[in-house]
Chain A
């Protein structure tokens, strides 16, 4: 009986050790390596998120090649506007430092639609301190041009007042502001 009892204890201890061992192995397998480095989460996920592929560049990255456009764009009122908003993302145009595809250039009424996204007075929510807005048919009537005119027939899209200032310089006329 005594012997049987000790065997029983050994069996119990052995089974506990085996179960604990199996548990520890399974735990080591299931828990990711970097888990718990900064907290109860996988720390490698931070670097993985940081290595996501870029799609937008900056205006500076566009101007590296498009120097002529840069000279106009940076002098005008539109200098804060991102190239990529109108033309498309950098990664659709450049891959590994080389041009891979052309980006679309907006034309005709597309330009007017794009301009009015910001410059529409009717929305009545745009501070005059921030942006100059126009009511669309009224502005064309006021300037004595056809109603079919698109914005870029008078305004350079990169520097809106470029042609207007040049015209004023040539004619010597100064527009009266109300």
Chain B
């Protein structure tokens, strides 16, 4: 088995590169220089006067402009939740509920149970889940909370796996480096497996990563010391050290969205329904019906005994 990670340049529209702080460093020096230059000048009063007049003129013109632009245009005004000019943010109106039974009552952390199902037969490798994930968390370049792998199998049963830029750019071209004809090609989305017996939780020396009572493996970035022991322990390679905070980050199944009754960002944007998420307390949810039904569901690396809560449908033998 051969694994390649060729890194491509990202598309220009999705440029998330961290801003350099060169500008910030240079600004105080400039101020000092300019003040030194201005102070001894004899025309200080005149300059001040002109400055004040200009500021007044600008402020006055802004007052004329602002009241016209504030009400907003088009049909936006009709639906906005404005009362007496003060914006009142009502998340229930702005964001329609997608997972029932979370917003209504007080969230009892011990009574909730969720499942994530990935349907490999429906994945088309568009990479919208990867883009959504990067946007939701501002994931630094080169690190991936979720990614989509492409498996190619030729007629000699040789398996080729590649994942250019984590699938962020999608798969635009077929692989042309396979000498024999390809027998089968498919995409496999990967994300945190939310193991019930998580190896990463066992090895954390400071209790920074844990399995919450509602079944999410989360990271407490305040406690994390960045020892990267959990990165070695995770059999699914979903963890990475954030280059800025130097603490561990991982896929959380968008815990902040779930607690607000919304689907994870990757499930939200998946056009084909390859990623499914839902509450197991809700008998009408798609996930509940699949888990209750007769279809074959598998998990990754079952022999590791990690008991993942992430299930795969249509899983093939080659997938590791």
Genuine A/B complex: yes
Give residues in A with beta carbon < 8 Å to B.
35, 38-42, 45-46, 48-58, 60-61, 64-65, 67, 78, 80-82, 84-85, 88-89, 94, 96-99, 104, 110, 113, 116-118, 120, 122-127, 129-131
Interface on chain B toward A: helix, strand, loop, or mixed SS? loop
Given contacts A54-B260, A82-B268, A84-B132, contact A60 B82 (CB under 8 A): no
**In the complex, which of the residues B82, B124, B173 has the most CB atoms of chain A within 10 Å of its own CB atom?**
B124
Interchain CB contact under 8 A, A97 and B90: yes
Nearest-neighbor residue (CB-CB) of A83 within chain B: B269
Q: Which residues of A contact B126 (CB under 8 A)?
A: 117-118
Q: Which residues of B contact A65 (CB under 8 A)?
A: 74-76, 79
What CA separation (Å) do A35 and B260 show in the bound complex? Answer: 24
Q: Could you give 12 example pairs across A and B, Cβ below 8 Å? A: A38-B213, A42-B223, A45-B210, A50-B259, A54-B262, A56-B265, A58-B96, A67-B75, A85-B128, A96-B87, A124-B182, A131-B124
| One of A35, A42, A88, A97 near B94 (C-beta < 8 A) | A97
Interchain CB contact under 8 A, B87 and A55: no
Q: Which residues of A contact B256 (CB under 8 A)?
A: 49-54
Residues 49-98 of B at the A interface (beta carbon under 8 Å): 72, 74-76, 79-82, 87-90, 93-96, 98
Tell me how many residue pairs across A and B have CB atoms closer than 8 Å.
163
| One of A54, A78, A84 near B257 (C-beta < 8 A) | A54
Residues 121-141 of B at the A interface (beta carbon under 8 Å): 121-122, 124-128, 131-132, 135-137
What CA separation (Å) do A123 and B88 show in the bound complex? Answer: 48
**Shortest beta-carbon distance, B124 to chain A, in Å?**
5
B272 at the binding interface (Cβ < 8 Å) = yes
Interchain CB contact under 8 A, A46 and B260: no
